[in-house]
Amino acid sequence: MSKVTLIKPRTSRVEIPFYEPKVPAGFPSPATEYLGDTLDLNEYLIHNKTATFFAKVEGDSMTGAGIFEGDLLVIDRSRNPRHNSIVVAVIDNEFTVKRLCTRDGIELRPENPAYQPIRISGETEMQIWGVVTSIVRKL
């Protein structure tokens, strides 16, 4: 199971130079040396400052969704969770990240076949804590 550790984002602003042309992942293109505007990652990743948190992922239950151990999740608590959203949920007082499925009842599904879905029944205490909006990963 993938667990998360919560981190509150800082409010300081850091602008990083932004290379405007797209960088091809296929054959190299002729070098163009122009920098565009600047990019503030807080502005790019965070849409609602007061409701946004970061969380560090522990575990491998979401690798099929491109979420790996050590990744930082950007979680917006103001977004309404919908069917197929990737959410951070609290189950029996423990945080986890899973895909929310609401078609036939409520289920939290891992994105790794080694794990079983968590079916939410009357006996399970569960709260959707927020919706994952982005993933940040160091290479």
Residues assigned a catalytic role: 61, 98
Mapped onto helix, strand or coil, the DSSP state of residue 100 is: strand
Residue 99, strand partner residues: 86, 109
Distance CA 91, CA 38 (A): 40
The angle subtended at Cα 42 by Cα 63 and Cα 62, nearest 5°, is 10
**Structural contact between residues 86 and 138, judged by C-beta atoms closer than 8 angstroms:** no
